[in-house]
A = this chain, B = another copy of it.
Amino acid sequence: MSLDYAILGWLSTGPGSGYDLVRQMDVGLSWFWGASHAQIYPRLKVLEERGLITSEPVTVGTKLEKRVYSITEAGRAAVSAWASEPPTYPPNRDSERLRLIFGDHGDTKAMRRHFETHLDRFEKRKANLQEFLDSVTSRKHQRIEQRIADAPTEALKEIPLAVRTMAYAGDLRRAELEIDWARECLAWLDDFERRHPEESRAG
């Protein structure tokens, strides 16, 4: 289950609460694995039962209790084993592409919204990825620095930075590609509506 390894992987870079993890799944981590709190909290309990993580309660203010989780040696071993497994790919699922191709009956307003949403989504994503990548390359990302510090040899200290640069830069280029794609589609649609003004209100 990838959610388990998203949690364990993140905890392998330092301790954190369930809520920290929830926020992480919204921002950084969610670029590769998103999950809601309804999934995360129960899963943390399972991982703790299995001895892959431990937790201790921390009191905030006078009453509010939060649990701060840390990865165990067994947890580190589990991440390491999972990371060395052969890649597996889930079936392709892209509901918006599906909507685009089966929405071919001529609702140009819906098509325009489709492309504009796509554009907006990937422009935001590009900005987020760029900002994150900058924080990584300028060595300001605390958790990644921790991973580097944990590496046992000089050579292995290259890896944490390199894999993240590759992964995030790859997704950044993908975001740029999606932006270009959406702009070209919008240009086609502009041209279509110019050539066929009578269809512009079709649904």
The interface of chain A, by Cβ under 8 A from chain B, is 2, 5-6, 8-9, 12, 25, 30-36, 79-80, 82-107, 109-111, 113-114, 117-118, 121, 147, 151, 153, 155-156, 158-160, 162-164, 166-167, 170-171, 173-174, 177-178, 181, 184-185, 188, 192, 195-196, 198-199, 202-203
Contacts and interface: CB of A to CB of B under 8 A. Distances in A.
A114 B85 CA distance: 9
Given A31-B92, A32-B92, A104-B160, A99 B117 contact: no
B99 A83 contact: yes
Work out how many copies of this chain go into the complex: 2
Nearest to A94: B32
Contacts of A88: 95-96
Contact of A87 (B101, B118, B162, B184): B118
Contacts of A94: 32-33
A174 B179 CA distance: 12
Among A30, A86, A92, A99, residue most surrounded by chain B Cβ atoms (within 10 Å): A99
B118 A99 contact: no
Contacts of A30: 91-92
Contacts of A203: 84
A83 B95 contact: no
A107 B84 contact: yes
23 contacts: A5-B102, A31-B97, A32-B92, A32-B94, A32-B97, A33-B91, A33-B94, A34-B92, A80-B103, A83-B103, A84-B109, A84-B203, A90-B93, A100-B166, A101-B164, A103-B163, A104-B159, A106-B155, A153-B199, A155-B198, A155-B199, A156-B199, A174-B174
A104 B147 contact: yes
Contacts of A114: 87
